Every structure is written in structure tokens, then in C-alpha cells.
Structure 1
């Protein structure tokens, strides 16, 4: 049977720990683990952006309540060096509006303080790309701090897949970013439940140097090289996100045998979900966790 391996180090001790963590993950989610079909985890992209306001606590809570094993979100830094959960470099006026009477205007996240950022309602509207009949607005939803997210979910079973975002030209020290992340993760006792992902490998390298216990995942590797394993080893990462055109089932299996966890790229249709299932990925990454969970159940890949 295929298993989701949460131990991303190559040592036997790490692999054993990962198997134990996987068993707990399956038990909490009700996913079949002891026998039967392969078990594939569900990663809720931005908390499930097709269903609730992206990168907000209500979105993450909804995804967790649905049964998504992994909550994915993006991280930016404010002017006062607070890590907040948001995707865009700027406050996006398409779906974030200032509170009535607030003396703030949309601008770069790095140019606004945390107090200013909290004066935007990012739950009443939706990014046009995610608008659809499944979306439910949550008026008043705020851009949360990383601390708020970790504190709110530390008592559950969900894993976290958190991405560092450093906009081009932004005055952000990747080492400081990684250090602040490490402090927050340690404070909430979540070193074994959070994976750092990034296109910016400087934060990947910095976090490994600060705290190698926190696992890391590389994004965008196919644009750099097809020798995925060499790149992963170079950056001490043991997780990779790949599109179904970036690898075949044989290649994915080889990576997994080398201790690498393989996540799909973001996919929102049954056609694409099936392609990734056939590849043998460890987890499927989606904006529609409800639809994906239904698909996996109908495919006899989930209870």
C-alpha cells in the first residue's frame, strides 16, 4: 500500500517517525490505512479558495471541518516585521476593502503595519478567478497573523503547508523571515506538523540551518532542472510539488523510494485529480477540498 510519508529525512529513525505520524494522520481523518486502496491526503490550497475567502481563518476552519489533512497558506511580512497570511504582494482591492471610516488604502503588505492591515475586510468579496457557485463569503474576515492561524489549529490534527513569499525588490531578509517562522512554530509546538514550502530557496536554506527539524518542500524545480533529487539534496528538502506533466509514475515512485514526499500541483477537476492518482502522489493539492474528497470517496480511495 502507498503511504503518505511525513518523515522527510533519510535516516531510519526519521522514516520510522514519519510512518507513526502518518498512522495518526489517517486515524484522525478516517482515511483507510491498514488495508485497501492507496491513501492520498488532501491539501486545501489557501484554505480552499473556491469555497471560502482565501487565506482566512474561516477558510482554513472550513477545510479542516471537511476533513482536509493539510491546510495550505501563504505568508508575507508587514512593515513592522509581523508574519501575516496573505498571497499577494499588495492588498488586493478585488477582494479586500478598507473598513468604513478606516484611514488606510490598499498598498504593499511590506509597506503597511499589522494594525493597518487588520483594517481591511477580505471576506466580503472574492478574487475573480475563484468566483463560482460554491463560494460563500464571510463578511468581516481579516488577514490573519501566522500566530493566529497556528494558535487556532494547534489543538487539532491538521498539518500545515506554509509558503514564504518575498516579493521582488521587497526589503525582506530571508534569514529573518525564517527565524520568525521558527519562533512561531516552536512556540506552538508544531515542528512536526508544519512544512515550509517556497520558490525562494533562501528561506528554505535558512530554516534548515536554524531548525532542521522543520521539514521543507521545493516549488518550481522543473523550471530549474530535471534532476529533482539532486536539487532536493542540495537544499536539504524532502518534499517536492510537481505537475502531472513534470514526472511520470516511474519517476514519482523512484523519488518516494528515496524518501521524498511528492505533492501534486494545484488541481481542481476530476480529470486532473485522476492523473495525479495514477502518478501515485502522496497528496492532492486543490482549491476545492469538498469536491476532491467526494472524488476520492467515489473512487474508493477514501472512506
Structure 2
């Protein structure tokens, strides 16, 4: 089971920043999961929210401002009595900070308008095996268009089981296979996620569960053969797996 740092090591550095990515490698993560959006001048940046208020204290909508403008803002993590800051990164900076052999999961937080700018940029800068790149999204129309543009990469459909209590798991798995989806990213309580993980793996899909910070739950996922565990605390998860002899 591989450990994926949720928005980078966001407990130690501002989420979705270069410093969070670099910290994830120090914490023993196998990969990082980051959110991507499009600025007004069609630059792909790593940022979760629609606007910058929560992370920077100043409220600007990402898609209404240029990258150069947004670059002047400081993303801040308050840790103990210290403020740790970094800048909103362009996708190229994220790729440059991703070590060889590590994996990069990019969650598309906007619509399919990001696909062409993302494809063009990654074609120029992606320095390692594209099988180490995964695009993830809740939106089927984004994933279908991504698949037509990036045949060589992995694509994951995100499913929040808490928000879909009546979901037919088998139908969801079969639909993913039909649409050429590589894997499922699943969130929810362990027992519901376990059922979907087992079904997905039986259909040949990769499986990723987010966001798990409990070591006992992580150990249970490892036992059932989960492929990827996304966590806010990659250092703790890595220590847990190492102590378990894995």
C-alpha cells in the first residue's frame, strides 16, 4: 500500500505548495495529491478553494485573476506560534519538485476548460514516467475528456460514500470500467469503503481511499490490499507501515 500526502504534508507546510510537496518526500510519502485550478490567464495552479480567503486571508477568486497577481499572495499555515508561508505554485513548479519514482495525483477542481492548458503544459515539462501521474475528479465529463487527451496516464473517479448512501457499488464499478477509468478514489467509513475496494479490485481497478489519519484503520486497509492511502499525516502512516514490517 502506497502512502499519498493529501495536499502535500499539509500539517507541516501550507497545503498545495512546493514546500508541502518537498516535506512529503521528507515524511516518506510515495506520492502527493494536489488540487488544480485555472487562472484568468489560463495558467494551471495548485489550489483547493475557489477563492483565496481561507489560505491567504485575502479574498480573490482564482479564475478571475492572473497568475502574476495571485503569486503575490502568501499561503499561510499557523503552526504552534509560528506562521509558515509559501506562494501559490504553477503546475510546473509542482512537477519540478516531484522526485523521480514518486507519484503525482492531480485533482481537477474546476471544469473541462482546464484540460487543454493542462495537457499542453504537462507535455512540455513532465520529466518522468507518465504512469506516475494520475488525474482525479468527481466529474465524469472531465474524466472522459481527460481520457481522450491523456491515454498514457491514470484517471480516477472520486466517490464520497457518505454523500451517496444509496449508491449501488457494483453499478459504480461497472460504469467506471465501461468509461475507461483506471481506478476509484473512495471516501467514507471503513466498512463501506472496504466493500467498494474489494469490488473495484476484482474488476481490475486501482483503489485509493481518502483521507485516513487513523493508524488502526490504515492497517486494516493494508490488510485488504488497498493500493493507495491518502492521508494528512504521511510521516505517521509511513512509521506505522514500517513498524508493521511492510
Q: Which residue of 2 aligns with 1:178?
A: 115
How far off is 1:258 after superposition? 2.8
Alignment of 1:49-88 (within 5 A): 49-88=10-49
**Alpha-carbon distance between aligned partners in 2 of 1:137 and 1:159, rounded to the nearest angstrom:** 28
Q: Is the 8 A contact 2:177 2:205 kept in 1?
A: no
1:277 aligns with 2:222: yes
How far off is 1:277 after superposition? 2.3
Structure 2: tracts of 5 or more residues without a match: none
**Alpha-carbon distance between aligned partners in 2 of 1:189 and 1:61, rounded to the nearest angstrom:** 17
How far off is 1:185 after superposition? 2.2
How far off is 1:231 after superposition? 2.1
**Alpha-carbon distance between aligned partners in 2 of 1:137 and 1:83, rounded to the nearest angstrom:** 26
How far off is 1:137 after superposition? 4.5
**Alpha-carbon distance between aligned partners in 1 of 2:83 and 2:25, rounded to the nearest angstrom:** 17
**Alpha-carbon distance between aligned partners in 1 of 2:119 and 2:37, rounded to the nearest angstrom:** 15
Q: Pick from 15, 30, 44: which aligns with 2:5?
A: 44
Q: Which residue of 2 aligns with 1:245?
A: 191
Q: Tell me which moved more, 238-247 or 281-290.
A: 238-247
Q: Pick from 106, 116, 136: which aligns with 1:162?
A: 106
How far off is 1:266 after superposition? 0.5
1:113 aligns with 2:113: no
Residues 33-92 of structure 1, C-alpha deviations (whole Å, 9 max, x = no match): xxxxxxx11000000222221111001001012221111100011111111000001002
1:212 aligns with 2:172: no
Paired residue total: 237
- Superposed CA RMSD in Å reads 2.2
Q: Pick from 55, 67, 72: which aligns with 1:95?
A: 55
> In the superposition, relative to structure 1, how do residues 221 and 88 fare at CA in structure 2: closer, same or farther (>3 Å)?
closer
**Paired residue secondary structure (1:272):** helix
Residues 96-143 of structure 1, C-alpha deviations (whole Å, 9 max, x = no match): 14xxxxxxx5221111110110011103x34xxxx6x6x97533x101
Structure 1: tracts of 5 or more residues without a match: 1-39, 98-104, 167-171
Larger Rg belongs to: 1
Q: Is the 8 A contact 1:165 1:200 kept in 2?
A: no
